[in-house]
Every structure is written in structure tokens, then in C-alpha cells.
Structure 1
Amino acid sequence: MARLMREWGMKARVARVYRRMTKRRDDLKALPNYRLDAEKPDAVNQHWSSDVTYIKLGKRYVFLAVVLDLFSRRIISWRLGESLSADFARATLREAFTSRQPASDLLFHTDRGIEYRAHKTQALLKQHRVRHSMNRPGQCTDNAEVESFFKTLKGELLHATSFVTLRQLRKHIKHYIEGFYNSCRLHSGLGYRTPLEFEGVG
């Protein structure tokens, strides 16, 4: 592939992943990274991971939150919005609970953002008896799978493409995630299968 690209004068799309800066809230407890000692998931709904990223829309930024199943790398819920808050992250997580209905031993991993440490989010996780795991300080690679998804999304969909409205952007992200990433895009970490194939769906 690399040789053919060189011969045709082609270059791979590369997108820079922008990290958001969140205000520190010392009253909101950070948790250990329980993934470090956990067994690798061998079925769906054992380990989930979530994060939020910026996407530039005209002269402003909007936010994309996702919940990813770490067994299949499938994006099981996502939400695009104009403001970042605990309610925004919680709504994305609630949608994942509704669609997947995981058992009470789920491990849910995130970074240390205040939207995940917020009391409302913690209450929702306790309601579903979820064990919440967080990145170690300064270790964004602890959540590498979601970071990889964001980099892929920005490189394959958003790089060198301008969207004018939130509605237009939402439409394209929906098509990318639901019509391509989950169902058509092959993942080397899954033995070159799609997330849906890896889960045995379809």
C-alpha cells in the first residue's frame, strides 16, 4: 500500500487530536485506573470507555462524546453538542445503558474530566452498579482506544473538510459511525474484522 501511494503521489490523511482543557475541581474525586489490573474483556459489555473531543465548526468548537465497547471497539453511543457539561456526558452514557443493558459488573473507563467526576454522573454509574476507572494523571494513553477512534474520525472524515451547520456535521458523523466505522471499517486489532462482525452481529 505504501509503495502504491508513493507511485500515485498520494499521502495519508493525518489529523491532530486536540485535547480539551478542563477546570480543576478538587471537590470531585478522581478514581484509580482499574484497567491496569483487569483481565482483557472476552465478551461485549464487560469494559466500556468514554471521552469527549473538540470539533471545529466554522469559527467555533463543538463537542463529540462517545462510549466505546473495548471488546469489539464498537461505538455504542455518541452525542454531538454545543456545550460540554456533566449532563452532556451523562446523556451519552444513559443512551449506552438503554441500548446495551449491561450487567452490574461493567468496568467503565474515562479520563479525569469534571464531566465524568461530577456528582450526577457518579450517581448514574452507581445506579447501574458500574465500577468507574480513570486515567492516571497525565496519562492520556490509558484511554488509547477512544483516542485512536477520534484520530481516525478526524483523519478520515473531518480533515480538510468544512462543515457549516451543526445539523450537517451531525449527519456526516452519524453516517461515518453507524454506516462505516461500526459496520464496514476493518480493524487490525480485531483480526481485520468490523466491530459488528467481531460481535457476531449481522
Structure 2
Amino acid sequence: MILKQQAFHPFKRLCVLLSVSRRGFYAWLNRRPGQRGQEDKVLGERILALHLASRKTYGVRRIRVDLQAEQRYCGKERIAKLMKQLGIKAAATRQHQVTTDSNHRLPIAPNLLNRHFSPPGANQAWASDISTISTQTGFLYLATVIDLYSRMIVGWSLSGSLKTPLIIDALTMARTRRQPPTGLVIHSDRGSQYASALYQKTLKNYGMVCSMSSTGCCYDNAVMESFYHTLKVELIYTMKLMTEQQASNAIFDYIESFYNRQRRHSTLNYLSPMAYEVAA
């Protein structure tokens, strides 16, 4: 307090008001930090570096896993205290916009997935969904396909149109990349795009089996909901309103460079999707 207020108030007056002797103040000022203080300084610098490496997204849990990977072991409370002192924290949440239009009379597929979000291997069960990205000139729509085994985004597409080709482009990317076997289950909500004849025909041509959520139940597609929540919190909400090109570049970089390859996922024992598949 004295250090902060010296520029505004007389030093002697501050010492009197705070019941601190001048000798005691100077002794404190020249005192070297103890071993714990020195360790906290080094640890704090590393925590800051890890937080920046995570694109300012990691909170206490993921920072702790990163430290453990470097053979640095410390409690969550200590990390939380140092993060508070450094003024860093995980990104905050906001509300999301609903893009599902299930008010239609198109045929609906049964819920084959039934919330079984952990298949025994890759390319056995995928999930897909659409989300809205706000830009300076309006909305973009992002469709993604995720492999439920490793939580890897295997296909995605960004467009100014919410029509069916958006989700087919994402699905085609996923199929081209992964070459899944016939019979793969792909789950989605009951949106008109997923129930459309064009999408259903594409699934048939690709040898995939359609599964759809129950009416108005976001939990049936919880993995996709979670991914979009993470994307918005860690990327979209941290940036100023972008142009469409900036949004496209940022989403490409986030998915392909960070989320799939680097970001630790709690469901995967804090491995990244790629590391989880490699370790399998």
C-alpha cells in the first residue's frame, strides 16, 4: 500500500496511518524473497507462458496438467492463487444462438446413438451440428463433424447460407479425410437440413446410417453442443467483430492448428484429439 501511494501522499504520513515503522518498511523493501517466494516467481512465469500458449484459454485444471507433463507438481489452490496474482483466467461464457429448425414434416431418423458418446474406436460414430458466427457484415454458419471416439473435428464448412449444402460440404470433407467403413452412425439434431432428402441421399451414397436427437433435447447431441460452446468461449468471444475472411481464417487456425492438435480435452484424460488417436 505504501509503495502504491507514495506518489500521492507523504511517506511519513503513510507510515503513521498504516502503523508501519520506517525502518521496518525499508527492511521489508530490501528483504530477499524466501525459497517459497522464489519458487512461486518461477512457477508463475511458467504458468503465464502456458496460458499464453493455450491462446489464453486454459484455466487451473489444464494448466495443472501441462505442468505435470513437465514434471512440475503442485496443487490447484496454488495455481489458482498465482493465476489470480498474474491476472489471468480461462475465457468466460456467453449465450449461444439456436440454429435448429425442427418445425417441418420431413422424415425423422431414430435416435440410434442414444447418448453413447464413447465408441470403442475411431470412425464408428460421428456427430454433426450447425452454429452461428457473427461478423461485421452479418452471420456466417459453421457446420462441423466430430468423431466421438477422439473428439476430433474431422470435417467442417463455413458459409453465409444455412441451407443443406453447408452440412454436406462438412460431411464430404470428413469422409474424404477419414474414409470410414460402411455402417458408420452419424448423429445430428432434427433440423430441416439434416432431414432433407438431399442430405439423406448423401448419407446413403456414403454408406452411413442416420441418427437423430429426440425432440428439443440438446443433451442427445451434447458433444457437439460442448464443442461449439468451447469454440465461442475460447475464440469468437475473445475477438472483436471480424470480417468474414478474418472469421474464416481464425476458425481454420483454431480447429486445425489448436483444437485437434494441441488443446487438452478432459474426456480424453487431458490429451489432445490427435494425441489420443496416436496413443490408441
2:163 paired with 1:85: yes
**Greater shift after overlay, 92-101 or 171-180?**
92-101
2:81 paired with 1:15: no
After TM superposition, the structure 1 = structure 2 runs for residues 85-164 of structure 1, keeping only pairs within 5 Å, are 85-164=163-242
> Alpha-carbon deviations, 1:158-181, whole Å to 9, x = none?
114124321111111111101100
Alpha-carbon separation, structure 2, partners of 1:3 and 1:19: 37
By how many angstroms is 1:77 displaced?
0.9
Corresponding residue number in structure 1 for 2:51 = none
Q: Mind listing any 5+ residue stretches in structure 1 that lack a counterpart?
A: none
After TM superposition, the structure 1 = structure 2 runs for residues 70-81 of structure 1, keeping only pairs within 5 Å, are 70-81=148-159
Corresponding residue number in structure 2 for 1:170 = 248
Corresponding residue number in structure 1 for 2:112 = 34
Change (3 A) 1:101 1:147: same
Letter in 2 for 1:152: T
> Alpha-carbon deviations, 1:70-108, whole Å to 9, x = none?
000000111111010111111111111111111012010
Q: Mind listing any 5+ residue stretches in structure 2 that lack a counterpart?
A: 1-59, 61-79
Letter in 2 for 1:180: F
Higher-Rg structure is 2
8 Å contact from structure 1 (residues 58, 162) kept in 2: no
What TM-score, normalized by structure 2, do the two folds share?
Answer: 0.67
By how many angstroms is 1:6 displaced?
3.9
Amino-acid identity (%): 37
Letter in 2 for 1:73: R
2:131 paired with 1:53: yes
Change (3 A) 1:23 1:31: closer
8 Å contact from structure 1 (residues 52, 64) kept in 2: yes
8 Å contact from structure 1 (residues 116, 122) kept in 2: yes
8 Å contact from structure 1 (residues 62, 83) kept in 2: yes
| Higher helix fraction (1 or 2) | 2
Letter in 1 for 2:161: S
Alpha-carbon separation, structure 2, partners of 1:38 and 1:156: 26
SS in 1 for 2:114: helix
Letter in 2 for 1:184: Q
What TM-score, normalized by structure 1, do the two folds share?
Answer: 0.92
Letter in 2 for 1:95: M
Change (3 A) 1:165 1:46: same
Alpha-carbon separation, structure 1, partners of 2:85 and 2:215: 44
Change (3 A) 1:37 1:119: same
Change (3 A) 1:33 1:158: same
Alpha-carbon separation, structure 1, partners of 2:230 and 2:83: 19
**Greater shift after overlay, 73-82 or 17-26?**
17-26
By how many angstroms is 1:138 displaced?
1.1
By how many angstroms is 1:7 displaced?
4.0
Change (3 A) 1:186 1:160: closer
Q: CA-atom RMSD, angstroms?
A: 1.9
Alpha-carbon separation, structure 1, partners of 2:149 and 2:90: 27
Pick the aligned partner of 2:122 from 30, 44, 48: 44
By how many angstroms is 1:21 displaced?
4.6
SS in 1 for 2:144: strand
Letter in 1 for 2:239: T
Higher relative contact order (CA 8 A, sep 6+): 1
| Higher strand fraction (1 or 2) | 1
